[in-house]
Chains A and B, each alone.
Chain A
């Protein structure tokens, strides 16, 4: 995402259990509220954050979420969330993004769903090294 520039201090939240996911969701909701995102956008992004954060807990055991505001082209503002873990990584990203694909006995909609819920979505994964997913929602 070359068109975005960090313009605020960033918040880091370590996520290693389901209680941490609640904290992460609350933080995102609070920041989005402060930036005056619509309630619908808040719900969409918080849901995406919930999916991605839980993916880290279930597949990697733990990970880190980083949040900050970004400036885009033409004075637009946005919120960027980066999810990084040092888990097993994803073997086949295209397959993992497909509806119904799951290795954890879930609906298999979380990863692909999260992509549809936000404006920008980027995923990088190295098997055996870890996964990094960043999402941006523009105001």
Chain B
């Protein structure tokens, strides 16, 4: 097997030019958008590099720590990553690798007899398949990275503080109130109360899809912290079905003033601070 691999490697090296030409022709036929995205000259350079390393890997293809093997993987990983970012499908990236077969097999066909040909094709096949699978893995990895980044970006949606009137601030709460987010909301609320010397804070929960016991607990905690600072907390955006659900859950919001709409909340806040709308 090893002798055959060496022979294949030598043969590929000898017909390097021909394989290179064939491969690039294949690419333009079968992976046009990829070639367009990468650029013709760069594609040529890349195929040339991969081919060179491939020939080096061939003699001992099972040795995955091999320097050339690692280099091929690196080139392919870089390409796969780049393609993911440019929204080129992973199939096209895979075709890039797999079309190498169509350029190598004709050469083997010309040079080897039937028995040898089968073995040689098997060996080449195995290696190219490995490389192809690798581009898929890289594709998945880079996708995961993108998803992770987006999740992070999503979490960073800040909690805005709106000063709606003299001594009245409002904080619209959106999305899911997990512990991190609540901690942030709490800090921002208390800091804003201190800095603006506000007496009333309106927390609007219209943007929270599900108000369960966790959200309720966070709201109660925020309200009691505000009360410690001498401020009143009004929770607005309590719709009919949320009220009903909270009652069935057995949540007691007794200590917290609640209103259905922002308008009602603001009205109450103005009364609490002895102010009037003119």
The residues of B that contact A99 with a CB separation of less than 8 Å are 250
A43 is an interface residue with CB less than 8 A from chain B: yes
Please indicate the chain A residues that have their CB under 8 angstroms from the CB of B240 in the complex: 40
The answer to the question of B214 belonging to the interface, with a C-beta cut-off of 8 Å to chain A, is yes
Q: How far is the CA of A116 from the CA of B241 in the complex (A)?
A: 15
What string of 1s and 0s marks CB contacts (under 8 Å) between B222-263 and chain A?
A: 000000000000000000111011001111000000000000
Residues A40 and B241 in contact, CB atoms below 8 Å apart: yes
Q: Is B216 an interface residue (CB 8 A)?
A: yes
Residues of A within 8 A of B176 (CB): 18, 22
Question: A106 and B214 in contact (CB under 8 A), knowing A19-B151, A22-B176?
Answer: yes
Q: Are A46 and B210 in contact (CB under 8 A)?
A: yes
In the complex, what's the smallest C-beta–C-beta distance from A99 to chain B, in angstroms?
Answer: 5
Q: Are A109 and B250 in contact (CB under 8 A)?
A: yes
The distance in angstroms between the C-alpha atoms of A39 and B210, with both chains bound, is 12
Cα A107 to Cα B246 with chains together (Å): 12
- Which chain B residue lies CB-closest to A117? B248
| Shortest Cβ gap from B253 to chain A (Å) | 11
- CA of A117 to CA of B246, assembled, Å: 9
Task: Digitize B206-224: 1 where CB-to-A-CB distance is under 8 Å, 0 elsewhere.
Answer: 0001111110110000000
- The residue on B at minimum CB distance from A46 is B210
Question: In the assembled complex, how far is the CB of residue B234 from the closest CB belonging to chain A, in whole angstroms?
Answer: 21
Contact call A50/B241, Cβ cutoff below 8 A: no
Known: A43-B241, A43-B245, A106-B217. A50 touches B212 (CB 8 A): yes
A78 adjacent to chain B (CB < 8 Å): no
Whether a CB of chain A sits under 8 angstroms from the CB of B114 is no
Q: Quick check: B248 and A113 within 8 Å, CB to CB?
A: yes
A137 CB to closest chain B CB (Å) equals 13
List B residues 76-119 near A (Cβ within 8 Å).
none
Check B241–A107 contact: CB distance below 8 A: no
- B244 and A44 contacting across the interface, CB-CB below 8 Å: yes
DSSP majority for the B interface?
helix
Q: What is the bound-complex CA distance between A99 and B209, given in angstroms?
A: 24
Categorize the interface residue count of chain A: 20 to 34
Residues of the B chain whose Cβ atoms lie less than 8 Å from the Cβ of A54: 212, 214
Interface presence of A110 (CB below 8 A) = yes
State which residues 46-66 of A face B: CB under 8 Å. Answer: 46-47, 50-51, 54
The answer to whether the Cβ of A27 comes within 8 Å of any Cβ in the partner chain is no
Q: Would you list which residues of chain A between 27 and 85 have a CB under 8 Å from chain B? A: 39-40, 43-44, 46-47, 50-51, 54
Evaluate contact between A44 and B248: CB separation under 8 angstroms.
Answer: yes
- Interface status of A112 (Cβ within 8 A of chain B): yes
Looking at A19, A25, A110, the one whose CB has the most chain B CB atoms below 10 A away is A110
Q: Is B156 an interface residue, CB under 8 A from the partner? A: no
Chain B, residue nearest A112 (CB):
B250
| A117-B178 in contact given A50-B212, A109-B213, A112-B250 (Cβ < 8 Å) | no
B210, A40: Cβ atoms closer than 8 Å: no
- Complex contact B245–A110 (CB within 8 A): no
In the complex the two chains form, what is the Cα distance from A83 to B121 in whole Å?
Answer: 52
In the bound complex, residues from chain B placing their C-beta under 8 Å from that of A18 are 176, 178
The answer to whether B212 and A47 touch across the interface, beta carbons within 8 angstroms, is yes
Q: Which of A25, A39, A40, A44 lies in contact with B209, CB distance below 8 A? A: A25
In the complex, A132→B227 CA distance in Å? 41
Is the Cβ of B250 less than 8 Å from the Cβ of A117?
A: no
A-B contact pairs, 27 of them (CB 8 A): A18-B178, A25-B209, A39-B241, A43-B241, A43-B245, A44-B241, A46-B210, A47-B210, A47-B211, A47-B212, A47-B245, A50-B210, A50-B214, A51-B213, A54-B212, A54-B214, A99-B250, A107-B217, A110-B212, A110-B214, A112-B250, A113-B213, A113-B249, A116-B248, A116-B250, A117-B245, A117-B249
